[in-house]
Amino acid sequence: MNLTVSHLDKLRLPLLHKIYKENYPSGKPKGKEEIIVIEGDKKILGAMRIKTYEECHFLTGMMIIKERRGESLGSQLLFKLNEFLSLEHCYCFCEPQLSEFYLKNDFIHIDKKNIPHVLKSKHDRYTNTGKELDILLYKKTNN
């Protein structure tokens, strides 16, 4: 199967909403985010959502459809991340059990004191509810 990674055509956002509802109900793709999809045979198999702030990008979420998990599609999406970034840094918050996945895909752990202010407040909002989140950083390369 030929896989492609590209920007989601905004006309397909309602379709992506349906896919999220079936595969990752807590995720909510928004039109203001940059949405990158991985597809096979013109079927969306997964997506990553990126929000851009003045000084950085923020990977707000990533989803692979249930029946295709465990096939390295998430890694294939992240392998293409560099191509879709206009700024040097892309941050990600994830549950500790997912950190290893991101670390294998060129992210590094960083301390909260080293993230931009706009992300500190977001991290505080999430963790003040008792949720534990690791902070990871991806640095764009100039290839």
DSSP 98: G
CATH of domain 3-139: 3.40.630.30
pLDDT surpassing 70 at residue 16? yes
Query: pLDDT tens across 29-63, in order?
Result: 988 899 999 999 989 999 999 999 999 999 999 99
- pTM assigned to the model: 0.93
Q: Where are the domains of the chain?
A: 3-139
Tell me the C-alpha to C-alpha distance, in Å, between residue 121 and each of 34, 101, 108, 112, 136. Answer: 21, 25, 20, 10, 16
Distances in Å between the Cα of 104 and the Cα atoms of 2, 49, 78, 93, 131 are: 23, 19, 10, 15, 23
